[in-house]
């Protein structure tokens, strides 16, 4: 019911009209008062500040819809403040109007370079100021409406994926019941095994989507515990070996011998390994090998020396056609994965995006490359 409640709240909020907030930033009290007075005829919540540093400090509290920012200020000028805001993911969408006594082309170019959305030259005209503020407010309103609709779509998608798990679980249960009946012929049993495998793949896919949604919404908490990676890798190899054999692919495990446990979310780490191996099998022709390599860079090093090294480096190598260099980064982005699928790379899915999010949640990273002779390698470090 959580997804339904969130979706309903978003629908209710779409179209709600709230008073817009304009923040005026100028170190000169007379200039601040003059700008505020020029906007008093508008139905606005007007706040004024004396410095760019105060603006940056109070941004979460103020949550402005438009910022009027004087360029010539001590300590931190308007250009620097504008640049800081436009580099922030949380605030880069807020329109900024730079107000300056400078009217040279290079000054405007510099303003554009730091991300300013509009310019006004002192002395400021009431009509021009009001027109520019209305334009920026219209743009901000359109952005906010789009954000709310995207949040609604994400909430609905989350709810649909969540609700799909129940009927899928029932299908898997009925398949298991059929397999246990002694009257099923060997030929039909083969079809039941294939159906069960596909249902398990669908279940894993839905689980990945739910995990991605939780990570994006900041609602996924890691359950860290000591993990012996070598033991887990052997379990994964045993689990996926039948799929590899069915494709005529050898699944090989190479480890250095783990001398210390890795602190990680065991369930999520196992899903990462399974996803990487399944992805490698997907691209492996018959009579080739998929190799899982585990390394422990901190082995034998002092705590001080090992601080900046990953606890584990896991690589999965295949002997398929390799990865185009332009896809090395974008293949781990869930939105880029959708575009790549539309471009005909249908074998790509959300598995690698899930792996990236898990690695980053552990403070690690994931990256791709190609083997010198043949095939691709994907490495995760945590």
At residue 182 the predicted structure's pLDDT band, cuts being 50, 70 and 90, is confident
Q: Which residue has the tokens 């503020």?
A: 133
Q: What's the mean pLDDT in 364-381?
A: 93
Q: Which of 234, 237, 349 is nearest to 283 (CA)?
A: 349
pLDDT at position 368 over 50? yes
For residue 359, what pLDDT is reported? 92
Helix (H, G, I), strand (E, B) or coil at 294: strand
Question: How far, CA to CA in Å, does 23 sit from each of 69, 96, 127, 227, 261?
Answer: 8, 10, 18, 51, 52
Cα 181 from Cα 157, distance rounded (Å): 37
| % of the chain beyond a pLDDT of 70 | 89
- 5 by Cβ neighbours in 10 Å (0-12 / 13-18 / 19+) ranks as exposed
Residues 201-256 pLDDT 10s = 788 778 777 776 766 665 567 889 999 999 999 999 998 898 899 899 999 999 98
For residue 13, what pLDDT is reported? 46
Other beta carbons less than 10 A from residue 379's beta carbon: 19
Residues 20-65 pLDDT 10s = 999 999 999 999 999 999 998 888 999 999 999 999 999 999 999 9
Other beta carbons less than 10 A from residue 25's beta carbon: 26
Helix (H, G, I), strand (E, B) or coil at 302: coil
For residue 219, what pLDDT is reported? 59
Residues 117-166 pLDDT 10s = 999 988 899 999 999 999 999 999 999 998 888 777 777 776 777 778 77
Cα 256 from Cα 119, distance rounded (Å): 61
Domains by residue range for the chain, with CATH: 18-148 (3.40.50.2300), 153-216 (1.10.287), 224-381 (3.30.565.10)
Strands 262-265 and 224-227: antiparallel
Residues 258-271 pLDDT 10s = 888 999 999 889 98
38 contacts 130 by C-beta, under 8 angstroms: yes
Helix pair 126-180, 186-216: axis angle to 10 deg: 150
Identify the bridge partners of residue 316 per DSSP, sorted by sequence position: 292, 378
For residue 339, what pLDDT is reported? 62
């Amino acid at each position: 019911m959580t997804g339904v409640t969130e979706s309903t709240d978003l629908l209710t909020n779409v179209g709600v009209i709230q008073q817009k907030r304009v923040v005026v930033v100028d170190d000169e009290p007379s200039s601040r008062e003059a700008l505020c007075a020029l906007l008093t005829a508008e139905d606005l919540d007007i706040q004024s500040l004396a410095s760019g540093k105060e603006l940056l400090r109070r941004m979460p509290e103020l949550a402005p819809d438009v910022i009027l920012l004087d360029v010539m200020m001590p300590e931190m000028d308007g250009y620097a403040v504008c640049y800081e805001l436009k580099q922030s993911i949380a605030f880069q969408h807020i329109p900024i109007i730079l107000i300056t006594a400078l009217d040279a082309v290079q000054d405007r170019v510099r303003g554009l370079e730091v991300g300013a959305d509009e310019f006004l030259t002192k002395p400021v005209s009431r009509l021009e100021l009001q027109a520019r503020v209305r334009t920026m407010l219209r743009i901000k309103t359109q952005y906010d409406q789009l954000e709310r609709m995207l949040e609604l779509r994400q909430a609905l998608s989350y709810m649909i994926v969540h609700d799909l798990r129940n009927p899928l679980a029932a299908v898997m249960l009925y398949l298991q019941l059929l397999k246990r009946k002694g009257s099923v012929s060997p030929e039909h049993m083969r079809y039941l095994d294939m159906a069960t495998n596909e249902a398990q793949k669908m279940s894993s896919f839905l689980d990945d989507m739910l995990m991605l949604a939780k990570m994006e919404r900041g609602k996924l908490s890691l359950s860290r515990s000591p993990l012996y990676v070598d033991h887990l890798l052997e379990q994964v190899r045993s689990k996926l070996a039948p799929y590899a054999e069915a494709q005529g692919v050898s699944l090989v495990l190479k480890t250095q011998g783990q001398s210390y446990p890795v602190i990680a979310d065991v369930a999520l780490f196992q899903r990462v390994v399974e996803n990487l191996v399944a992805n490698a099998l997907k691209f492996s022709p018959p009579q080739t090998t998929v190799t899982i390599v585990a390394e422990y860079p901190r082995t034998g090093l002092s705590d001080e020396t090992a601080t900046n090294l990953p606890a584990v480096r896991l690589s999965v190598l295949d002997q398929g056609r390799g990865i185009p260099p332009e896809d090395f980064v974008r293949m781990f982005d869930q939105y880029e994965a959708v575009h790549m699928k539309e471009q005909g790379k249908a074998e790509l899915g959300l598995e690698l995006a899930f792996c990236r999010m898990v690695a980053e949640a552990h403070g690690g990273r994931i990256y791709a490359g190609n083997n010198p002779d043949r095939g691709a390698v994907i490495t995760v470090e945590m």
